[in-house]
Amino acid sequence: MTRRILVALALVVVIATAFIGGRLSAAQPQMQAALTNLRQARANLDRATADKGGHREKALVLVNQAIDEVQEGIQYDRRH
């Protein structure tokens, strides 16, 4: 009887560990933080004056591309 309880307890621990690991992977706090920072950078660039020799506009394009890449990375991780 004690052996069955220990096996059941071990199984519960394994399942709980897998569940928690999956949740942490899905949350992706570093990628979410990067996304927040990139969106803030985009907002700052939007508010900046346009007289930057085209560099502000190029930076906006690159930041938007980076946002897309981070979002795709988050989605990739969730699927795999």
HEC assignment per residue over the chain = CHHHHHHHHHHHHHHHHHHHHHHHHHHCHHHHHHHHHHHHHHHHHHHCCCCCCCHHHHHHHHHHHHHHHHHHHHHHHHHC
Tens of pLDDT along 6-26?
Answer: 666 666 777 766 666 555 556
Domain that holds residue 44: 2-79
Spatial CA neighbour of 42 closest among 56, 52, 30: 56
Predicted confidence at residue 22, as pLDDT, reads 57
Tens of pLDDT along 58-80?
Answer: 999 999 999 999 999 999 999 98
Domain count, the chain: 1
